[in-house]
């Protein structure tokens, strides 16, 4: 019953460093998403992958890239981290790309950029 697994859980970066956040789901879901959560702002969509082999920008894509490595895995990369990217990042998945489906979320990655 792993669901959606995110690694790492915590990370501290210096400004300008790069890193990749990993996400894997074991529910055979087609669609995967990356969100960031900031105080008082709810969750904002960074990128999503409707199905294996496709990725699209969400509401706040600047400074990020993604890779849908296979059906299970969807990674988020910060090429040159900035303090404004300090946030909690959530990966989510859904059976198909459609708003009638609820999402399954990972437990998050808390990232601090100093």
Task: Give the range of 13-21, 22-30, 71-79, 97-105 binding other proteins by CB under 8 A.
Answer: 97-105
Task: Give the range of 17-25, 61-69, 75-83, 90-98 binding other proteins by CB under 8 A.
Answer: 90-98
One-letter-per-residue 3-state SS of 17-50: CCEEEEEEECCCCCEEEEEEECCCCCEEEEEEEC
CA dist 41 and 36 (Å) reads 9
- Regarding 90 and contact with other proteins (CB under 8 A), the answer is yes
- C-beta closer to other proteins: residue 44 or 71: 44
Q: Between the CA of residue 36 and those of 5, 33, 53, 89, 110, what are the distances in Å?
A: 16, 10, 22, 4, 10
- Regarding 89 and contact with other proteins (CB under 8 A), the answer is no
CA dist 62 and 109 (Å) reads 19
Q: Which of 22, 72, 75, 105 binds other proteins (CB under 8 A)?
A: 105
- C-beta closer to other proteins: residue 17 or 55: 55
Site string for other proteins, 48-87 (x = CB under 8 A): x-x-----x-x-----------------------------
């Amino acid at each position: 019953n792993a669901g959606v697994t995110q690694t790492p859980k915590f990370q501290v970066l210096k400004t300008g460093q790069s890193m990749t956040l990993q996400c894997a789901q074991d529910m055979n879901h087609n669609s995967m998403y990356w969100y960031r959560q900031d105080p008082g702002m709810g969750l904002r969509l960074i990128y999503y992958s409707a199905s294996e082999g496709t990725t699209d920008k969400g509401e706040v894509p600047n400074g990020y890239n993604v890779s849908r490595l296979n059906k299970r895995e969807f990674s988020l990369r910060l090429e040159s981290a900035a303090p404004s990217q300090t946030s909690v990042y959530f990966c989510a998945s859904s059976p198909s790309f459609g708003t009638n489906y609820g999402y399954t979320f990972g437990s998050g990655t808390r990232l601090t950029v100093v």
